[in-house]
């Protein structure tokens, strides 16, 4: 990469950052990705900084109540104030015609590039304003818009207050789109027309879209946006031109940027189809996510792999640590000589966490004999009742099969790390093509854990069936959800019972070889270092932004 490109100064905007389990300002994959980007930037000396919010209550700490239902709790995480450094600077944003003060904190204690966190918990703010940076993805539309005003508009003002010189603004997901209203305002103050300002802003903005599930792409009514003060000097016609009516944050991201990307090759295609009717938008490229090795891959495994040593005994050692961890948390003693599957993801219906139990009579004997053991973890969004019902089903299954099915409550980075190192198989069965990328599978693969997955997200790029893991479902898709689920269930049982189990129990040498292949085929390729290089080459480069083909 040319020195010039590598010197491009980037401000990365994201609602959440998963840097460490002790810094609970993340909810899931979006935040984990953002945390890994900041670590990769630091490690590889890229001038990229992060902008986010200091979530005093974080995302839900979701535990299982006495009635086996998920219960949301929100402790105050005031220890964040000890981790972050007060820059002494503050800015204000206008929300509902009131000035809200945001303090600016700086955080760089996790080998990450500088992360600036805005906090409305200020003694001079009123009670309502103090809690704008309270709950990540909590509450409703008005609160969310207030949070997006702080992240977007406040984020740009913070850059100016800190005197940071920025070449590119990267909106990671649509939450930060309102930042563009502030950039437009700045340019108009210097005499540009709206059209000129919009053109100039686009050249400085790049955008990443994440979710291929339509409901996941946030929309707000223009009325509410106006009432909240989110127009920030723009007219309603200008707002509609950017985000449509209702105002869609993803559409806005696509119209405000020069280039955009999806987070895996397949997701790039899906996103292009999904947004093909949006005119005057950025082209959507594909940059596959990566993971930060020091955070997610066990050094003992890397050493054993590099020394051409015995992966199996190293794996068994790490597996037994996981088994102890599970026993401490739940009292269940899993068997280290039996196959152990891991499944951890947000409890969203399309991820089908309960698929494996769909034909209970068929699969029952395997769980009863303990030939298959499985550990689940995952939170449902606090307002998602269907997701919570899914968790209840999983908890029910732990009662049905108390020695071989486990549910770990309050999924977080520690659980994620333990599981993606210590199980034997990483199971992933979303309804294709709804999984954008799925970095947990990469973490697992790099630790020698074999993926058993639908060909969705990143997996089509890496999967060599029977060599470094297994696919099932043959990329089948159907409009008919029942048909798709039935097809995928049969495929799951077939691969599990006819390939995975026999290999595990009867062909250990083949299994060990596959573990080595799993690491060999992923360790370099899905390293966050490659991802950030791609962002610089394909998105941040000035030439790319200037010459972007926006004829859509």
Ligand X SMILES: *Cc1c(COP(=O)(O)O)cnc(C)c1O
Site residues (CB under 6 A) for ligand X? Answer: 28-29, 32, 345, 411-413, 416, 438-441, 443
- Cβ-closest position to ligand X: 416
* Nearer to ligand X among residue 28 and residue 262 (C-beta): 28
Report helix, strand or coil for 196.
Answer: helix
Least distance in angstroms from the C-beta of 33 to ligand X: 8
* Nearer to ligand X among residue 29 and residue 58 (C-beta): 29
* Nearer to ligand X among residue 313 and residue 386 (C-beta): 386
Least distance in angstroms from the C-beta of 373 to ligand X: 20
φ, ψ for residue 451 (rounded to 5)? Answer: -75, 135
Q: Which residue has the tokens 């959800």?
A: 481
C-alpha 117: how far from chain center: 19
Report helix, strand or coil for 520.
Answer: helix
Least distance in angstroms from the C-beta of 347 to ligand X: 11
Q: Which residue has the tokens 């990483």?
A: 426
Least distance in angstroms from the C-beta of 457 to ligand X: 7
Report helix, strand or coil for 100.
Answer: strand
* DSSP-assigned beta bridge partners for residue 494: none
Least distance in angstroms from the C-beta of 134 to ligand X: 21
Length of the chain: 552
CA atoms within 13 A on the CB side of 407: 27
Least distance in angstroms from the C-beta of 307 to ligand X: 27
* Nearer to ligand X among residue 151 and residue 348 (C-beta): 348
Alpha helix locations (H) across 331-454?
Answer: 360-368, 385-400, 413-422, 439-446
Q: Which residue has the tokens 């009670």?
A: 127
Residue 298 has which token pair? 């066990």
DSSP string, 47-62: -EEEEEE--SSBS-EE
Residue 157 has which token pair? 């003002």
Least distance in angstroms from the C-beta of 439 to ligand X: 5
Closest by Cα among 415, 453, 443 to 526: 443
* Nearer to ligand X among residue 29 and residue 448 (C-beta): 29
Least distance in angstroms from the C-beta of 64 to ligand X: 17
Q: Name the DSSP letter for residue 527.
A: B
Least distance in angstroms from the C-beta of 158 to ligand X: 27
* Nearer to ligand X among residue 27 and residue 151 (C-beta): 27
342 burial via Cβ count (<10 Å: 0-12, 13-18, 19+): buried
Least distance in angstroms from the C-beta of 414 to ligand X: 8
SS3 per-residue string spanning 201-229:
HHHHEEEECCCCCHHHCCEECHHHHHHHC
* Nearer to ligand X among residue 152 and residue 290 (C-beta): 290
CA distances from 293 to 111, 444, 526 (A): 13, 11, 9
Least distance in angstroms from the C-beta of 221 to ligand X: 30
* Nearer to ligand X among residue 34 and residue 156 (C-beta): 34
* Nearer to ligand X among residue 345 and residue 381 (C-beta): 345
φ, ψ for residue 551 (rounded to 5)? Answer: -75, 70
* Nearer to ligand X among residue 17 and residue 367 (C-beta): 17
φ, ψ for residue 547 (rounded to 5)? Answer: -100, 15
Least distance in angstroms from the C-beta of 345 to ligand X: 4
* Nearer to ligand X among residue 120 and residue 261 (C-beta): 261
Helix 413-422 to helix 439-446 angle (10° resolution) is: 50
φ, ψ for residue 52 (rounded to 5)? Answer: -155, -165
* Nearer to ligand X among residue 33 and residue 156 (C-beta): 33
CA distances from 124 to 55, 83, 337, 353, 398 (A): 18, 23, 60, 46, 49
């Amino acid at each position: 990469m040319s020195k010039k490109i590598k010197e491009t100064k980037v401000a990365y905007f994201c609602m959440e950052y998963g840097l460490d389990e002790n810094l609970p300002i993340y909810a899931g994959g979006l935040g984990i990705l953002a945390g890994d980007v900041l670590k990769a930037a630091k490690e590889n000396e890229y001038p990229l900084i992060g902008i986010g919010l200091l979530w005093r209550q974080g995302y839900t700490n979701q535990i299982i109540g006495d009635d086996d239902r998920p219960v949301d709790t929100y402790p105050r995480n005031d220890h964040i104030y000890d981790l972050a450094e007060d820059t002494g600077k503050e800015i204000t944003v206008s929300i509902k015609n009131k000035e809200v003060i945001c303090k600016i904190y700086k955080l760089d204690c996790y080998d990450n590039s500088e992360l600036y966190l805005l906090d409305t918990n200020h003694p001079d703010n009123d009670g309502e304003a103090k809690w704008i940076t309270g709950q990540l993805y909590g509450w409703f539309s008005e609160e969310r818009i207030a949070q997006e005003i702080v992240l977007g508009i406040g984020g740009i003002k913070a850059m100016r207050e800190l005197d940071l010189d920025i070449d590119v603004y990267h909106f990671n997901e649509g939450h930060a789109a309102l930042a563009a209203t502030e950039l437009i305002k700045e340019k108009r103050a210097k005499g540009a027309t709206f059209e000129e300002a919009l053109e100039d802003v686009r050249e400085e903005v790049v955008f990443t879209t994440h979710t291929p599930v339509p409901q996941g792409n946030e929309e707000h009514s223009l009325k509410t946006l106006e009432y909240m003060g989110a127009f920030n000097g723009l007219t309603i016609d200008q707002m509609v031109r950017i985000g449509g009516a209702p105002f869609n944050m993803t559409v806005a991201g696509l119209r405000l940027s020069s280039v955009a990307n999806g987070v895996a090759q397949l997701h790039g295609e899906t996103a292009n189809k999904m947004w093909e009717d949006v005119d005057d938008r950025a082209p959507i490229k594909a940059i596959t996510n990566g993971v930060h090795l020091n955070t997610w891959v066990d050094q003992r495994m890397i050493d054993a792999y590099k020394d051409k040593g015995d992966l199996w005994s190293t794996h068994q050692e790490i597996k037994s640590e996981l088994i102890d961890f599970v026993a401490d948390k739940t009292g269940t003693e899993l068997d280290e000589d039996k196959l152990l599957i891991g499944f951890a993801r947000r409890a969203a219906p399309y991820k089908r966490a309960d698929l494996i139990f769909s034909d209970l009579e068929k699969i029952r004997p395997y769980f009863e004999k303990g030939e298959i053991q499985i550990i689940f973890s995952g939170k449902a969004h606090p307002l998602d009742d269907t997701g919570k019902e899914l968790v209840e089903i999983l908890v029910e299954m732990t009662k049905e099969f108390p020695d071989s099915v486990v549910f770990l409550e309050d999924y977080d980075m520690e659980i994620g790390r333990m599981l993606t190192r210590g199980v034997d198989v990483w199971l992933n069965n979303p309804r294709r093509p709804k999984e954008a990328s799925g970095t947990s599978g990469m973490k697992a693969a790099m630790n020698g854990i074999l993926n058993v997955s639908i060909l969705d997200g990143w997996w089509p790029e890496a999967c060599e069936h029977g060599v470094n893991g297994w696919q099932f479902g043959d990329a089948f898709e159907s409009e008919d959800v029942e048909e798709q689920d039935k097809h995928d269930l049969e495929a799951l049982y077939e691969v599990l019972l006819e390939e995975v189990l026999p290999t595990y129990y009867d062909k250990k040498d083949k299994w060990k070889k596959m573990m080595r292949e799993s690491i060999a085929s992923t360790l370099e390729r899905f390293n966050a270092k490659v991802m950030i290089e791609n962002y610089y080459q394909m998105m941040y480069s000035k030439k790319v932004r200037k010459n972007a083909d926006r004829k859509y």
